[in-house]
Amino acid sequence: MLNRPATETQITHFQRIWLYMLVALVFAFLIIPCLIVIPMSFSGSKYLEFPPRSWSLQWYGAYLGSSEWRAATFVSLRAALLTTVFATTFGTLAAYGISRAYGAASSLARGVFMLPMLVPLILVAIGCFFVYAKIGLNGTTTGLVMAHTVLALPFVVIAVLSGLASYDMNQERVAQSLGASRPWAFLTVTLPQIRLSVMSGALFAFVTSFDEVVIALFISGGQNATLTRLMFANIRDQIDPTVAAISSLLIGLSMILLVGSHLLRGREDRK
Amino acid sequence: MTMVLNHPGIADAEPNADALKRRGSRERRALASLTLPGAILIFLVLILPIGWLFWLSFFGPSGEATLENYARMLKPIYVRTFISTFEVAGLVTLVCVLLGYPVAYLLSQLSERTAGLLMIFVVLPFWTSVLVRTYAWLVLLQRTGLVNTWLIDAGVISTPLPLVHNMLGTVIGMVHVMLPFLILPLYASMRAIDPVYMRAAANCGATPSQAFRQVFLPMSLPGLTAGIALVFVLCLGFFVTPALLGGGRVAMWAMQIANNISVYGNWGAASALGVVLLVVTAIILYAFKRLFRVDTFEGVR
Amino acid sequence: MPGRVEIRNIKKAYGSFLALDDVSLDIAPGEFLTLLGPSGSGKTTLLNVLAGFVRPDSGSITIDGAEFLLLPPHKRNLGMVFQNYALFPHMSVRRNVGYPLRLRGVSGAELDRRVEEALGLVQMAHLADRGVNALSGGQRQRVALARAIVFEPSILLMDEPLSALDKKLREHMQLELKRLHDRLGTTTVYVTHDQREALTLSDRIAVVNGGKIVQLGTPDEIYDRPKNKFVADFIGETRFLPVETSTSGALLYGRPLRTRDDWKDGDSDKPWLVIRPERLRWKGDETETANRIEAEATDVIYQGDSYLITVRMPDGIELDLRRGPDLGGKDLPERGQPIQLWLDREHTILVADKS
């Protein structure tokens, strides 16, 4: 087996064994920090240990029992859902406009919608903090959702643009020739066909908002502090095993989202 | 013939020209208006505040116009921050290339199915919150963390190694965050290399390592440079991981900006730092785009 | 009978490129008119102007006397069939065909009846509940056609609807389209680059080149009386030979040429003799000098249903001529042999480069 050729240039598996070992090490490096927290979060002792000597749900209890953590989770979920709605709607509209227009206007718009991805987050954070202070948006859901929507827009626009690129615009034309107005043709013919791209854009938008730390550190606070803000402060100041329980829950959420995005991509490929 | 002569269109050499033009511009306006909600938000949250900060960066604490905020950046403390930021970014990028290239290469040589399955190792970290991963590294690397405990139990060391709250911990944590950003575009570009080229090289008499160096490596460079630009630029403005794993010993640009606000309340200084960071980022991205014709941020995620 | 289209002075420029250069065209009610031309000639642009997907710079289109050009596409009541069918993949065959009816407020039994009827016309009624991805190319084409006619549009537009099908199926579908048109009598504008398809289907053909209609006529007019070299070249397997003009008439390699129509002197362009290989006679009176072509056979190649015979003219020009296996009583020429060919006067046509 090991002496079989492995590549086009007839190198054998045995000659490449160092490569397999290196890649396995990198995979271990990538995956261990994502998984090790989960068993530790079920530890029965007062400290984090691996492997845990006894098991309990005490840290999950601590998380669910704390009104502060619960409120922060609620704030984060609410912001992420609102961000998903706004970013997906605005991003899909913009992507459609960009893809149907041509020339300088189209590439200018494309550039503007890519900006939030290019500007360093810390700069967006202090900029928002500064302007929000003038108009009283710091510590509000509105302000947070506005900022997160802007961060998420590029992901939605990219996803929907790629969906529209592989979509046959004649479909919309034929719908119009059959009697559908342009908006109706978009809703009944185009949107159902690019829905997987829109959904994967929505997924990105949700994650972008839910996981966002830097902006939340500056502009969220008080009653509207996000989960990430609370976690950041907690990790910086002490190692509270409660965070391990929250982290495990977040990792579970990531896995669900990963599977979701994988399914979306798989269905798109089959088309 | 009389029919043609009687036709109203003949009198007017360009019938309907004005009405058609109006409808054309109406349609363009309608399409442009679709981008408006998003564009307005981007203006309010991004362009206006950064423009304001840019304006602010030319004023001192008492409101007088000055270039002091920019002049201050030549002071040793700031220069040290810039140097260490570039050091960390460069080191993280280098480690990412050394670890990421072999991974992307091997994945690109496997069947789509197998590669897709193994991709979970790259994509799961990617979908996991940076904060969660940074926390996990803290748990692993701190004085009483797992790594030190195991090493002591195994008798390799007698006193805990300083693995975190320093440069080492910061680099480890950042590499973990950045590696997927390098592997994903690199893998995509390697996938696009037709294996027929390697066959052709072997057919021409190249040894496997010659074929790799002379054919595969050059063809994978566009993807690699895109990944390098992306990782380097993200490192320059990175905040969360250095703030938590650096333990205050690793001065990064983004933290300097944050400190200027939260500790000193000096908006002018923070703004000037932010503006320079933005300019440096833009220059690097533009340079990569011009030199290597790569669109760094397209196709991520 | 409704469906009279008058296209007047349509101009469309993309930058300095004139896609449509002052095009005017009348289409009679019930007519099957084909826009025939090479790619980039402007034929598809003209069709898209009719459909409302391309906005011209100026011009006018009336249907039954009413201005049409300023209507948005969805208010034009046109059936359109696209090259790639453009069936909606997220709808079944039945829902695809019902889509234009539902937009017009048709529902219930009436909707079902009309969908069935349209599918019946294209012999697709038995597959009504399939998804469109399960259909073959020919079946998709039929469904697209049913969807375009189900709401009884005043005009049917087709943009190279058969070009994605293989040759056999394409020829079969041509006949079906012709029968369907005979039955429905809908005014049809058909775009193609396939001259044989145009000849088969059309009542009239408009040959389009460089954004202009260069010739408009019935298929036999277009084939037998091409107005210029472009039309003659584009239609049929045409060869050309240079012709001299003198006071006594046209001369081909010094031999007199009796032509169907007199060559109008004063035309600055040099005339060309149009040679349709199937119009050549391979046998004739050897004492007859007029309309005789003398050449040397350089290659004789067997191609199953025909021979391909390459001949070289005295001035070195080579012509490939296709000839059926029956050589009109003459033996197959051999390589290097001189051969003689005759053209009847009614098939002797001269064209200029431009007209």
The reply to whether residue C57 touches residue B19, judged by beta carbons under 8 angstroms, is no
Residue B300 confidence (pLDDT): 41
Domain hosting A183: range is: 66-237
User: How much is the pLDDT for B261?
Assistant: 87
Find the distance separating the first CA and the last CA of chain B, reported in whole Å. 65
Strand partners, B110: none
How confident is the model at residue B241, as a pLDDT?
Answer: 93
The answer to whether the CB atoms of C89 and A193 lie below 8 A apart is yes
Return the residue of A nearest to B208 by Cα: A9
Residue with structure tokens 């960390």? B88
Length of chain A: 271
Per the DSSP assignment, residues forming a β-bridge with C343 are C280
Q: Do the chains contact at A50 and B146, CB–CB below 8 Å?
A: yes
Q: Could A177 and C72 be called an inter-chain contact, meaning their C-beta atoms sit closer than 8 Å?
A: no
Least confident of A75-89, C191-205, C296-310: C296-310
- What is residue A4's predicted lDDT score, i.e. its pLDDT? 64
- Which residue from C74, C77, C157 is facing A181, i.e. has the nearest CB? C74
Substitution target in C11, C57, C58 with the highest count of B β-carbons within 10 Å is C58
Nearest to C58 among B10, B20, B27 (CB): B20
Q: What is the CATH number of the domain that holds B195?
A: 1.10.3720.10
Q: Do A254 and B33 touch (CB under 8 A)?
A: no
- How far apart CA B121 and CA B189 sit, in angstroms, is 19
Judged by phi (left if over 0) then psi (alpha if -120 to 50, else beta), residue C304 lies in left
Contacts of A228 in chain B (CB under 8 A): 129, 131
Cβ–Cβ of C73/A168 closer than 8 Å? no
| Residue C45 C-alpha, separation from nearest chain B C-alpha, in angstroms | 16
Sorted by sequence, the CB contacts under 8 Å of residue A181 that are 6+ apart come out as C72, C74
**Six-digit token string for C264:** 């109008």
- Give the gyration radius of chain A's Cα atoms: 23
Q: Which residues of C touch B19 (CB under 8 A)?
A: 70
Nearest to A179 among C82, C104, C157 (CB): C104
Of the candidates C29, C19, C4, which has an alpha carbon nearest to the alpha carbon of residue C49?
A: C19
> Using omega within 30 degrees of 0 as the cis cutoff, is the peptide bond preceding A51 cis?
yes
Contact A118 B35 (CB under 8 A): no
ipTM of the predicted structure? 0.88
pLDDT, one tens digit per residue, over A36-75 is 889 888 888 777 777 778 888 988 998 999 999 999 999 9
Does some domain include residue B114? yes
Q: Tell me, what's the pLDDT at B150?
A: 87
C345 C-beta neighbours (distance < 10 Å), count: 11
Between the alpha carbon of residue B64 and those of residues B67, B266, B269, C6, C225, the distances in Å are 10, 14, 13, 73, 88
Give the pLDDT score at C341. Answer: 86
Nearest to B137 by CA among B114, B115, B166: B166
Q: B35 to chain C nearest CA, in Å? A: 22
- C187-192 and C204-209 as β-strands: parallel, antiparallel, unpaired? unpaired
Q: How far is C12 from chain B (nearest CA, A)?
A: 11
Q: What is the pLDDT of residue B7?
A: 46
B10 touches chain C (CB under 8 A): yes
Tokens of B23: 């409808």
With CA atoms as reference, the chain A residue closest to B283 would be A118
Distance CA B130, CA B126 (A): 8
Instruction: Note whether residue B21 is domain-resident.
Output: no
Q: Looking at the 3D structure of chain B, how many domains does it have?
A: 1
Query: Is residue C177 scored above 80 in pLDDT?
Result: yes
Contact C76 A177 (CB under 8 A): yes
The answer to whether position A158 is within a domain reads: yes
pLDDT score of A151:
96
Please give, rounded to a whole number of angstroms, the shortest distance from the CA of A184 to a CA of chain C. Answer: 10
CB B266, CB B260: distance < 8 Å: yes
Q: Is the pTM of this model over 0.90?
A: no
Contact state of C56 with B24 under an 8 Å Cβ cutoff: no
Continuous segment of H or E residues that includes residue C214 = strand C212-217
Q: What is the mean pLDDT of residues C18-34?
A: 94
Distance from CA of C262 to the nearest CA of A (A): 48
Residue B217 lies in a domain: yes
| Interchain contact C69–B (C-beta under 8 A) | yes
**Is C151:C100 a contact under the CB 8 Å cutoff?**
yes
Task: Report the number of distinct structural domains present in chain A.
Answer: 1
For residues A28 and A22, what is the distance between their CA atoms, to the nearest angstrom?
Answer: 10
Q: Show the domains of chain C with their CATH numbers.
A: 5-230 (3.40.50.300), 237-351 (2.40.50.140)
Q: Tens digits of per-residue pLDDT, C241-281?
A: 888 887 777 888 888 888 887 776 555 668 888 988 888 87
- The residue among C80, C140, C149 with the most chain A CBs within 10 A of its CB, best to mutate, is C80
Residue A82 inside a domain? The answer is yes
Distances (CA, A) of C179 to C80, C183, C185: 18, 6, 10
- The answer to whether residue B97 sits within a structural domain is yes
- Segments of chain B scoring below 50 in pLDDT: 1-10, 298-301
CATH, residue A136: 1.10.3720.10
Using CB atoms and an 8 Å cut-off, which of residues 9-38 of chain C contact chain B? 9, 11
Q: Over 90: is that where the pLDDT of C212 sits?
A: yes
In a domain, A171, yes or no: yes
Token pair of C127 as six digits? 């597959």
C62, B15 in Cβ contact below 8 A?
Answer: no
- Subunits with 3+ C-beta pairs closer than 8 A to C: A, B
Q: Which backbone phi and psi does C59 adopt, to 5 degrees?
A: 130, -175
pLDDT at C267: 59
Neighbours of B185 (CB within 10 A): 28
Tokens of C120: 């019946």
Are C103 and A179 within 8 A, CB to CB? Answer: yes
B partners (3+ CB pairs within 8 A) are A, C
Domain annotation covers residue B206: yes
pLDDT score recorded for residue A50:
74
Considering only the beta carbons, identify the residue of A210, A236, A258 that sits closest to B244: A236
In a domain? residue B266: yes
CB B174 within 8 A of CB B85: no
Q: How far is A82 from chain B (nearest CA, A)?
A: 14
Q: Which residues pair with C295 in a beta bridge?
A: C339
Residues lower than pLDDT 50 in chain A? 271
C-alpha distance from C71 to closest chain B C-alpha (Å): 10
Q: Return the number of CB contacts < 8 Å for A and C.
A: 64
Task: Determine the structural domain holding residue B252 and report its residue range.
Answer: 56-125+167-292
Residue B107 lies in a domain: yes
Give the separation between CA B16 and CA B5, rounded to whole angstroms.
18
Q: What is the pLDDT of residues C107-159, one digit of tens each?
A: 999 999 999 999 999 999 999 999 999 999 899 999 999 999 999 998 999 99
Predicted pLDDT of residue B8: 47
